[in-house]
Amino acid sequence: MKGTGDESSPGNGRRKELGVVGLVLGLTAVVVGGAYVYQRLDARGEAGGGHALGFDGERAYQYALDQCAIGPRPPGSEAGWMTGEYIIDQLQGLGWEVDTQAFRYEGVPLRNIIGKFGQGPVVILGAHYDTRPVADRDPEHSDEPILGGNDGASGVAVLLELAAVLPQHQLSNEVWLAFFDAEDSGRLDGWPWCVGSTYVAEELAVEPAYVIVVDMVGDRDQQLCFEGNSDVALRETLWEIAADRGYDEFIPQVRHTVIDDHLPFARKGIPAVDIIDFDYPYWHTVEDTCERVGPESLERVGRVLEEFLTGGQ
């Protein structure tokens, strides 16, 4: 992803070919008078159904470590394919139906992966699993690939831990966990940003109720501000949940406006939010490793999403 304002600063189961199903009205987050309404959890972290929040930051961090152990994961690479297989294996082992979407861009084989669980109106949570092919913001290593501990692995880690905990709840929606390929090759060899998510958005036969993208959320010095291209009502609801939980790292003001995987859906009129920490000094450098990622940071994001998805009407 990149900033559209100050780009100089980030300072940023069953497998089958994808069949699109769903309805347009969300039950977990209902739009009433322009606001998303949900049932807040009580002080014990329990919803009306009596389910405690289960998202565990240490488990999520292990998912990030597993990805980084594979190495840099640029589009079309063997490591990228292996990462996709890892994601599929995790989803299937957790009981999710897995759909894949294979396609080519500029002759490069790419693959989106979507895990599905639950019944009801469709909602999408997304993250990219590719890493930038070169560390072009790192003057001393500008031709080397990046490991993507935060920019790549952190979003996937949050989604995989959600895959583990969401089946413990009674869901009011069919949840899609979408793992996008080829988000992070923009402005390299003529590639645009967000290739995989654009493909998913263009292939949708009907609209999901909303889309939430998580990207670069693992920084130990976490600062999650409103993103300028995100749906106002949806982002306010998510940040209110964070405030209720005492998460001061969620800052309710716009600091950056970025191009990311939420935009292809927003351009189709679908409410979409990007949860992103763009104040990350190691963005697109070889220093973006799992050492920069904190389990507590992953847990804060994951628990906000878990509460949002399971505390619905």
The answer to whether 61 and 298 have CB atoms below 8 angstroms apart is yes
Number of neighbours of residue 225 by Cβ within 10 angstroms: 20
Range(s) of the domain holding residue 306? 2-6+14-310
The answer to whether 96 and 116 have CB atoms below 8 angstroms apart is yes
Q: Establish how many alpha carbons lie within 13 A of residue 256's alpha carbon, considering only the half-sphere containing its beta carbon.
A: 24
Alpha carbon distance 227, 56 (integer Å): 25
Tokens representing 277 are 């920490």
Q: DSSP assignment, residue 69?
A: H
Alpha carbon distance 263, 221 (integer Å): 26
Q: Phi-psi category of 45—alpha, beta or left, where left has phi over 0 and alpha has psi -120 to 50?
A: left
What is the model's pLDDT at position 3? Answer: 55
Which H or E run contains 61? helix 57-70
What is the model's pLDDT at position 17? Answer: 34
pLDDT tens string, the chain, 313 residues long: the values are: 565 544 434 443 333 333 333 323 333 444 333 344 455 444 334 443 345 899 999 999 999 999 999 999 999 999 999 999 999 999 999 999 999 999 999 999 999 999 999 999 999 999 999 999 999 999 999 999 999 999 999 999 999 999 999 999 999 999 999 999 999 999 999 999 999 999 999 999 878 999 999 999 999 999 999 999 999 999 999 999 999 999 999 999 999 999 999 999 999 999 999 999 999 999 999 999 999 999 999 999 999 999 999 984 2
Name the packing angle between helices 57-70 and 295-310 (round to 10°): 120
Which H or E run contains 30? strand 30-32
Closest CA to 250 of 211, 202, 308: 308
CATH number at 221 reads 3.40.630.10
Domain count for the chain: 1
SS3 (DSSP) at 163: helix
Look up residue 21 and give its amino acid. V
The size of the chain, in residues, is: 313
The answer to whether 161 and 56 have CB atoms below 8 angstroms apart is yes
